[in-house]
């Protein structure tokens, strides 16, 4: 068990904490206070699906120097004890009278001085995974120490993936690639979409996913209307484009890419649009370099589509990826995050095919000094046909 629950050797986590502490130093933070599953996993290696239960909060404090401290419910002690974290403090949660609040206050006050500024991720794409009323109690209890915005320290660290992380994401991508290759075995004319979703999830598990945190998709004549719906029981029909999109998880790391399939005979408009998406992606794969901004990628993908006569659709045309299905930055016109070597990203251009119908294409890459390196097996230029 030890190996699987630690996920990576302790040196990997020590390096992450050192990088977090560098960021904290730059930003004048005396500690980070982490509550979200992804941040806790990132620092400790504590991997469990138990986050699905909203009953209990979990806390990790990363001081400006020294090792992190975990303040967690008793039910997690054995699993946290198998990670590299040595200082684990616990209480019997859920406790309506004091759900870790006083233990947390004691721990924080013992770790950082009165003057401390403690970073909490509170910016874009974050949330606080604990009851708000308890956060206010902790905030009052640690005064004059103060909670301040620590988003930047966490995001600038986590967005640069280590070699081990890139390997993990590539493994998840390979698993999904093999599952996508098996779609013709279970999808075709007359097959209900919800059954296709189930079979696709089973294929992902069979190919090695530990679990399947995300499957979405759609099927419609000449394209689809949205990309986040659960599946209907409607049967696939000739002329449909079937899209499947997955965030399958292996060792706590996600892939996030989709594939489009032609159900029977699809229209020329569909074929042309898919080709434009593929080619615009190819352009971006060639052109991407560290130093560009997130908004540059959005523009590049839009221009690539427009140049080929396609109409860009969808809001964000890609994003970060790793410990969660999606991470910052976002390829939108307004995101000016600089791209850096070591970022793992999705390229996700969408294009309209007539009124309210679209096709969305997606690949996963790691950005190197010299440019993009694919992590997902490249989609075929022509959509695979399903009969």
The nearest distance, CB 245 to a copy of itself, in angstroms, is: 10
Q: Are 383 and 359 within 8 A, CB to CB? A: no
Among 182, 191, 198, 272, binds a copy of itself (CB under 8 A): 198
Tokens encoding 13: 């986590």
**Contacts to a copy of itself from residues 217-236, by CB under 8 A:** 225-234
Residue 348's nearest CA partner among 310, 319, 306, 374 is: 319
Q: Are 146 and 118 within 8 A, CB to CB? A: yes
Is the Cβ of residue 92 or residue 382 nearer to a copy of itself in the bound state? 92
Does 209 help bind a copy of itself (rule: CB under 8 A)?
yes
Pattern 84-103, a copy of itself, x by CB under 8 A: --------xxxxxx-x----
Place of tokens 């119908």: 357
- Residue span binding a copy of itself (CB under 8 A) among the ranges 108-116, 178-186, 199-207, 275-283: 199-207
Does 357 help bind a copy of itself (rule: CB under 8 A)?
no
Residues 6+ apart with CB under 8 A from 88: 69, 70, 72, 77, 80, 81
| 3-state SS class at 60 | strand
How many of the other CB atoms lie within 10 Å of CB of 143?
11
Residue 139's nearest CA partner among 161, 155, 116 is: 116
The nearest distance, CB 265 to a copy of itself, in angstroms, is: 23
Residue 118's nearest CA partner among 153, 87, 149 is: 149
Tokens encoding 140: 């009052």
Does 370 help bind a copy of itself (rule: CB under 8 A)?
no
Does 300 help bind a copy of itself (rule: CB under 8 A)?
no
Does 348 help bind a copy of itself (rule: CB under 8 A)?
no
Among 314, 342, 371, 377, binds a copy of itself (CB under 8 A): 314
Does 131 help bind a copy of itself (rule: CB under 8 A)?
yes
Q: How far is CA 77 from the centre of its chain?
A: 26
Is the Cβ of residue 164 or residue 205 nearer to a copy of itself in the bound state? 205
Among 4, 146, 271, 307, binds a copy of itself (CB under 8 A): 4
- Residue span binding a copy of itself (CB under 8 A) among the ranges 105-113, 158-166, 328-336, 338-346: 328-336
Counting residues that bind a copy of itself (by CB under 8 A) gives: 86
Does 334 help bind a copy of itself (rule: CB under 8 A)?
yes
**Contacts to a copy of itself from residues 236-295, by CB under 8 A:** 247
**Contacts to a copy of itself from residues 52-81, by CB under 8 A:** 52-55, 57, 73-79
Place of tokens 């939108």: 332
Rounded Cα–Cα distance for residues 161 and 247 (Å): 18
Does 127 help bind a copy of itself (rule: CB under 8 A)?
yes
Q: How far is CA 211 from the centre of its chain?
A: 14
- Residue span binding a copy of itself (CB under 8 A) among the ranges 11-19, 170-178, 332-340, 373-381: 332-340
Rounded Cα–Cα distance for residues 4 and 115 (Å): 39
Does 355 help bind a copy of itself (rule: CB under 8 A)?
no
**Contacts to a copy of itself from residues 133-192, by CB under 8 A:** 133, 135, 149, 151
The nearest distance, CB 57 to a copy of itself, in angstroms, is: 8
Among 12, 106, 214, 235, binds a copy of itself (CB under 8 A): 214
Residue 16's nearest CA partner among 153, 157, 168 is: 157
Is the Cβ of residue 17 or residue 101 nearer to a copy of itself in the bound state? 101
The nearest distance, CB 301 to a copy of itself, in angstroms, is: 16
Q: How far is CA 218 from the centre of its chain?
A: 21
Among 30, 159, 210, 348, binds a copy of itself (CB under 8 A): 210
**Angle of helix 37-44 relative to helix 151-158, nearest 10 degrees?**
60
Residue 353's nearest CA partner among 386, 319, 374, 383 is: 383
CA atoms within 13 A on the CB side of 23: 23
């Amino acid at each position: 068990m030890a190996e699987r629950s630690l996920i990576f050797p302790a040196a990997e986590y020590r390096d992450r904490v050192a990088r977090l502490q560098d960021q904290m130093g730059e930003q004048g933070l005396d500690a980070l206070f982490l509550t979200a599953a992804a941040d806790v996993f990132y620092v400790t290696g504590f991997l469990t699906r138990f986050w699905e239960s909203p009953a209990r909060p979990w806390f990790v404090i990363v001081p400006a120097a020294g090792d992190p401290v975990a303040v967690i419910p008793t039910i997690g002690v054995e699993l946290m004890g198998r990670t590299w974290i040595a200082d684990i403090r616990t209480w019997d949660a859920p406790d309506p009278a004091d759900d870790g609040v006083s233990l947390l206050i004691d721990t924080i006050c013992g770790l950082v001085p009165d003057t401390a500024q403690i970073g909490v991720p509170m910016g874009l794409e974050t949330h606080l995974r604990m009851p708000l009323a308890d956060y206010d109690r902790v905030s009052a209890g640690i005064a004059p120490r103060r909670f301040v915005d620590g988003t930047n320290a966490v995001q600038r660290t986590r967005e640069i993936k280590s070699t081990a992380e890139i390997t993990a994401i590539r493994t998840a991508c390979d698993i999904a690639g093999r599952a996508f290759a098996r779609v013709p075995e279970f999808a075709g004319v007359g097959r209900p979409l919800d059954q296709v979703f189930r079979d696709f999830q089973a294929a992902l598990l069979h190919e090695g996913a530990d679990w399947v945190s995300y499957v979405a998709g759609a099927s419609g004549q000449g394209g689809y209307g949205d990309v986040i719906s659960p599946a209907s029981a409607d049967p696939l029909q000739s002329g449909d484009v079937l899209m499947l999109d997955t965030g399958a998880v292996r060792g706590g790391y996600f892939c996030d890419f989709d594939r489009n399939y032609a159900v029977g005979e699809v229209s020329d408009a569909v074929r042309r649009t898919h080709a434009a998406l593929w080619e615009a992606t190819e352009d971006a794969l060639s052109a991407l370099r560290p130093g560009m901004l997130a908004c540059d990628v959005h523009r590049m993908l839009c221009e690539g589509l427009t140049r080929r006569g396609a109409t860009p659709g969808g809001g964000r045309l890609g994003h970060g990826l790793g410990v969660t299905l999606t991470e910052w930055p976002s390829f939108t016109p307004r995101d000016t995050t600089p791209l850096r070597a070591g970022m793992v990203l999705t390229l996700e251009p969408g294009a309209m095919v007539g009124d309210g119908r679209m096709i969305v294409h997606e690949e996963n890459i790691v950005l190197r000094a010299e440019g993009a390196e694919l992590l997902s097996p490249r989609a075929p230029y022509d959509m695979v046909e399903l009969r």
